[in-house]
Chains A and B, each alone.
Chain A
């Protein structure tokens, strides 16, 4: 009889083979020779493909492991995340639609293209590109750590962490590099369906086997009532903490470059509308129900886990055979890989377009640029492998935890640039730099003046400085007409 871990390994390898097949299919079918084709799938994604790749990119391995761990540790207060993020849908309708209109007219390829065009400032382009690249790069590298450990767990430790890491890096790297955005989208479509079905299915199965949802909640009310209200067992969601979570995080999630460039790929505005609905819907399926039930059930039945991220695995291990866990965890791998491939591609996109072509003013043909992009992607994935092999402690503690609040720092320059004629490039540059410096320095020094967290200081000062410096400086050659006025006409039509 074949051991269960080998069946589990076979299922995961079959999944990897499928992903690779998609990559090779896209390479031979489309032969990407232009940057539009390689990075934006020819700007022709239908609404269904767009919403699925958007959801797959949004939901990382955190949806499986981290979210369950958060409910396990902090209880239902973690509902602040899906509640606050629901309003990203409005940002999609207002900001995403405008970026899509501009990208169709002016052929934007990266987030930096907007800033360079709107403010006529290559310096701002570079600052934005470097900001997004640094936060993006370490975040996606560390994603490998989570999915590699999940791989190790599913195979019962017969595959080492190093082997699992090498395998996931190779597979993700190969299909992303050779197939570009089309391969990423095709695998994302499949991965979105896998992740949106496996987690709810697994949780329903596991929680039913453990007595059902009402039973779990009754136990929680008896044993750990703090899990069922704010601020939670560790006091994480105090009144002030709850409000802070609403103010900055949605901007950081929405401005993530891998999600941002998804709007450039839309064929028509139905794609934008689908993303606006798909984001909260996926949050309901994963964060409001599945992860919540799994986290509370694990907290009640298996308290005191050393690593809360393993709460889901603990729950599954107690209720189902290893081969079935492998099927479920392929959903976790799907969630992680679909985020990593998009982040890898957009990182390469920013290096090639914002730094090599525009920053260093390198003149190369489109075909050469695509080849260069492939080489840079290969270099980035190698770098990610080295980071994941031995994650630097300081980077993990500072950069990773700042990923979304750091990314949110580009929001003032984006929003004001889209709507306000008076904002100047000096306002945008000084505001962004102020936000970044305050955020990183306060985090390193571990200070929170007046008891207000660093990210609130950074975000508020960013807005304030952008507006004040804009009033203090004159609009010179900023592209008010081509952006603000064009959008006013286009959206009033």
Chain B
């Protein structure tokens, strides 16, 4: 794993913190984005997409070693 850079570690920590911290705005469903999508759910979906994308990047780098 030594080929992972410090930047990778920092990004992982930031991404985990974004999910781990129970942000105050997730305590209300409003505003409804597009008139129906609650903001907390949009946030969780975007976060999950970012997680998955970054995991794919890490796996790619790991395989390329």
Contacts and interface: CB of A to CB of B under 8 A. Distances in A.
A416 interface: no
Interface in A301-349: none
Given A239-B22, A243-B22, A284-B48, A230 B40 contact: yes
B10 interface: no
Interface in A51-78: 76
Contacts of B40: 76, 228-230
A93 B38 contact: no
Nearest to A289: B45
Interface in A217-255: 217-218, 221, 225, 228-231, 237-239, 242-243, 246
A277 B48 contact: no
B32 interface: yes
Interface in B13-61: 16, 19-20, 22, 26-30, 32, 34-38, 40-41, 44-45, 47-48, 51-52, 55-56, 58-59
Contacts of A355: none
B7 interface: no
Contacts of A84: 19
B44 A217 contact: no
A94 interface: yes
A493 B59 CA distance: 18
A469 interface: no
Contact of A280 (B22, B37, B41, B51): B51
Given A217-B36, A221-B29, A239-B22, A83 B63 contact: no
Contacts of A214: 34-37
Interface stretch (A5-13, A15-23, A268-276, A406-414): A268-276
Interface residues of B, number: 32
Given A93-B62, A217-B32, A276 B55 contact: yes
A93 B28 contact: no
A459 B27 CA distance: 28
Contacts of A82: 48
Interface majority SS (helix, strand, loop, mixed), chain A: helix
B19 A277 contact: no
Name the interface size band of chain A. 35 or more
A273 B1 CA distance: 13
Contacts of A89: 55, 58-59
A242 B22 CA distance: 7
B12 A229 contact: no
A276 B59 contact: yes
Contacts of B44: 76, 79, 83, 288
A284 B53 CA distance: 12
A124 B28 CA distance: 48
B36 A221 contact: yes
Contacts of A94: 1
A285 B1 CA distance: 29
B2 interface: yes
B5 to A, nearest CB: 15
B48 to A, nearest CB: 5
Contacts of B41: 76, 79, 228
Most buried by B among A89, A218, A270: A89
Contacts of B22: 230, 237-239, 242-243
Nearest to B51: A86
A162 to B, nearest CB: 41
A491 B27 contact: no
B58 A217 contact: no
A281 B28 CA distance: 28
Contacts of A239: 22
Contact of A90 (B20, B30, B48, B58): B58
A273 B52 contact: no
Nearest to B40: A229
Contact of A221 (B12, B26, B32, B52): B32
Nearest to A283: B48
Contacts of B47: 83
A492 B29 CA distance: 48
Contacts of A270: 63
A269 B55 contact: no
B30 to A, nearest CB: 8
Contact of A86 (B29, B30, B36, B48): B48
13 contacts: A76-B44, A89-B59, A93-B59, A94-B1, A218-B32, A221-B38, A225-B30, A228-B40, A230-B40, A237-B22, A242-B22, A280-B51, A283-B48
Given A76-B38, A93-B62, A221-B32, 7 more contacts: A87-B51, A217-B32, A230-B26, A243-B20, A246-B19, A246-B20, A270-B63
Interface of A: 76, 79, 82-84, 86-87, 89-90, 93-94, 213-215, 217-218, 221, 225, 228-231, 237-239, 242-243, 246, 269-270, 273, 276-277, 280-281, 283-284, 288, 491-492
